[in-house]
Every structure is written in structure tokens, then in C-alpha cells.
């Protein structure tokens, strides 16, 4: 099987032009087939504020009303996505920017209303690996933003980590897939105040201990849950760390294993 790397960036990498440029250079030099997935929540919050639109969050998750969806579509699908694609072209990577609606690549169901109405938020239902592979086989590098569609004309704001893991699972039918979750830290930390206290390996057993000891908390929990789901469903390897880990020149990042 051919290898396929699926890399997700978010947080300060997207916000900081220097960090983004450095990452995209590393990404462009990465050999083999690859897919990039990005968020852009901080930029969306900033632009929404300038437009007088209040960003509402519950448990770290965005409530996406109609106005917010319009901002997210403009920021994720336009400003952030096309900026990344243009920078990749400058690095000789022939990238193509996509939402899940493009080539019907990722369909989602609108999240059902339970205790909280999250609005126009999607839970991934289906990834069209055949169509995505047509782009890869044509030597294009897909760059997905965190927007999917419901198949009935409605765009949906969708968690970028989930998009990453579901793409990886589906593509694992035809590729040996690895996931890299890139952000500003070196990896999952034992001590949040010590940036060098990287936990090198997390498996199912150690994860339970880290949860019990409240070392892994908040937004890191759904990220690692996604990692385990991916590994259980065909993905070969999952890594969490800063952008340098994709070169494997250093070993100061977190590897997730079953």
C-alpha cells in the first residue's frame, strides 16, 4: 500500500504568519501523498467581532447560528483556505482548496438538538474516498477547511479534528494512512507549565490514568478520543506535536497507540 499523510493544523500556527510559512515549507517538503486539514476558529472569532457578531461558545464548542455560519464560510473556506493554497503554490505544492461540499467529498448530518442547540454544526456521516483519491492520483494536494455539507444544499461547521480522523479512516481502505495533529506545543504535556514535559507515548491504559489524574483535560480529550477511534478503524499511526514532527528529525512529540 502507498503511504498517505493526513495533517491537521490549527490554533496559533494559522494565526501567526511566520509559523504558518515555516509549517507550509515543511509540509511541502514532506515526501509522498498528503492531505492538509485546517481550522481557523480564532480568525473567525476576530472577524465576527469586527462585524458586530457575538461568538457564543459552550464547553469550548462554537454555537453556529446563521450569521456565524456566513462568517465561518467566508473565513475558513475563503480567507484562510485560499491563503494556505497560495502559499503552498509558492512552495511548489500543487494544492487545491476544498470544503466538504466540493466534489461531494464529506457529507454530514446536522447535529441533533439535545441539551444544547449547536445550530449549523455537522457530524460527519460519509467521506467519499473515491473522489478524494482522484485528486491525489492526479497529483493535486487537497486542502480541506472545517466545513462540510448535508447533501441538501446546507453547509455545516464541522470539527477539523473529526474531519481529519474520518478522512484518514476512509482513505485507509486504499492507503497506509498516518495522522499528524500539529499545533503550537511539542506534544501532549505532563505539566502545562513545562513545554518540554512531552508524554512520548499514550496508549489505552496510560490514557485512562492521565484522565484520572487530570493531566489530560478540556479540548485535548476529544482530540485523543478521535486518535483512538482512528487507530481502531484502520489508521496505522497517529502523532500529536508541533510542525517539526512531520520531518521526524526530533523525537519530542506524542505518539498515540492502542
Q: What is the pLDDT of residues 79-104, one digit of tens each?
A: 999 999 999 999 999 999 999 999 99
198 closest CA partner among 155, 228, 242: 242
CB 207 within 8 A of CB 225: no
Going from the C-alpha of 46 to that of each of 40, 145, 180, 186, 198, the distances in angstroms are 10, 17, 27, 26, 31
Domain ranges of the chain: 3-256
**Per-residue pLDDT of the chain in tens (258 residues, 90 and over written 9):** 999 999 999 878 998 999 999 999 999 999 999 999 999 989 999 999 999 999 888 877 889 999 999 999 999 999 999 999 999 999 999 999 999 999 999 999 999 998 899 999 999 999 999 999 999 999 999 999 999 999 999 999 999 999 999 999 999 999 999 999 998 889 999 998 999 999 999 999 999 999 999 999 887 888 899 899 999 999 999 999 998 899 877 788 999 999
**Phi and psi, residue 197, nearest 5°:** -85, 55
Question: What angle is formed at CA 81 by the lines to CA 58 and CA 71, rounded to 5 degrees?
Answer: 45
What confidence tens digit (pLDDT) does each residue in 24-48 have? 999 999 999 999 999 998 999 999 9
Taking the C-alpha atoms of residue 54 and residue 226, their distance in angstroms, rounded to an integer, is: 29
Whole-structure pTM value:
0.95
Quick check: helix, strand or coil at residue 254? strand
Under CATH, what is the fold of the domain 3-256?
A: Carbamate kinase (3.40.1160)
226 is in an annotated binding site: no
41 is in an annotated binding site: yes
Amino acid at each position: 500500500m502507498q503511504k498517505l499523510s493526513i495533517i491537521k493544523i490549527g490554533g496559533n500556527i494559522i494565526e501567526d504568519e511566520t509559523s504558518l510559512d515555516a509549517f507550509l515549507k515543511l509540509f511541502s517538503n514532506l515526501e509522498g501523498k498528503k492531505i492538509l486539514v485546517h481550522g481557523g476558529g480564532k480568525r473567525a472569532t476576530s472577524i465576527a467581532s469586527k462585524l458586530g457578531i457575538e461568538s457564543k461558545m459552550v464547553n469550548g464548542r462554537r454555537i453556529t447560528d446563521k450569521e456565524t455560519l456566513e462568517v465561518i464560510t467566508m473565513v475558513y473556506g475563503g480567507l484562510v483556505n485560499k491563503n494556505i493554497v497560495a502559499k503552498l503554490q509558492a512552495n511548489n505544492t500543487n494544492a487545491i482548496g476544498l470544503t466538504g461540499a466540493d466534489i461531494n467529498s464529506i457529507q454530514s448530518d446536522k447535529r441533533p438538538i439535545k441539551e444544547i442547540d449547536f445550530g449549523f454544526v455537522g457530524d460527519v456521516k460519509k467521506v467519499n474516498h473515491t473522489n478524494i483519491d482522484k485528486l491525489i492520483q492526479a497529483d493535486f494536494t487537497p486542502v480541506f477547511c472545517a466545513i462540510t455539507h448535508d447533501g441538501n444544499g446546507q453547509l455545516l461547521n464541522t470539527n477539523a479534528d473529526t474531519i481529519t480522523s474520518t478522512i484518514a479512516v476512509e482513505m485507509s481502505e486504499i492507503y497506509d494512512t498516518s495522522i499528524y495533529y500539529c499545533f503550537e506545543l511539542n506534544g501532549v504535556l505532563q505539566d502545562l507549565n513545562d513545554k518540554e514535559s512531552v508524554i512520548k507515548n499514550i496508549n489505552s491504559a496510560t490514557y485512562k490514568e492521565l484522565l484520572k489524574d487530570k493531566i489530560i483535560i478540556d479540548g485535548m480529550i476529544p482530540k485523543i478520543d478521535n486518535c483512538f477511534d482512528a487507530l481502531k478503524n484502520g489508521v496505522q499511526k497517529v502523532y500529536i506535536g508541533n510542525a517539526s514532527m512531520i520531518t521526524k528529525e526530533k523525537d519530542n512529540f506524542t505518539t498515540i497507540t492502542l
